[in-house]
Amino acid sequence: MEQENLYVYWDADNISVAFIPRVREFFAARNQTPKVCRAFGCCLSKKQVAFLADSGFEPICIKPGANATDFRLTISAVADRQPERRDVIGVVSNDHDFIPLISHLKEQGHQTILFAEKSASQSLRKAANEFALLERSNAAMAPATRSSKCRTP
């Protein structure tokens, strides 16, 4: 089995990008550097897109629609997988809709880490190999998660 890669998938419609420094610190403490960092959202402002890009994240602006962000994030996470690798996948979201994705990745032998706030359900937390709590006290200043107008890609 080849050496693991680290991927981070951010649900920017669900978790504020203000937590990016916290997530980066988590991996830096483990001497891990993400290979891929993507943030998905249908309501990203130009300021948020710039902040994400400056923070090393690829902003993926989604055309608004029911669960559109969830679907794109899931497709990306599954498509990036390589069967011969045991990768580390970080998912940043409070959304219980990601339980099947996290469970699937774990079943495929990947290490899964969920980054979420206190409001995340216990079933979501337990789906991942590891849970990292995101608290407002450890979030740096950054643009708010949602803008007043949704943009299309």
pLDDT tens sequence across 2-57 = 557 899 999 999 999 999 999 999 999 999 989 999 999 997 889 999 999 999 99
User: CA-based angle 46:92:73, to the nearest 5?
Assistant: 70
pTM of the shown model: 0.86
Contact (CB, 8 A) for 67 and 42: no
| Helix or strand holding residue 111 (H, E) | strand 111-116
CA proximity to 12, closest of 76, 57, 54: 57
Q: What is the pLDDT of residues 66-119, one digit of tens each?
A: 889 999 999 999 998 876 778 999 999 999 999 999 999 999 999 999 999 999
Q: Which residue has the tokens 């979420």?
A: 116
**How distant, in Å, are the alpha carbons of 74, 83, 105, 147 from that of 79?**
8, 11, 11, 29
Q: How far apart are CA 65 and CA 59, in angstroms?
A: 17
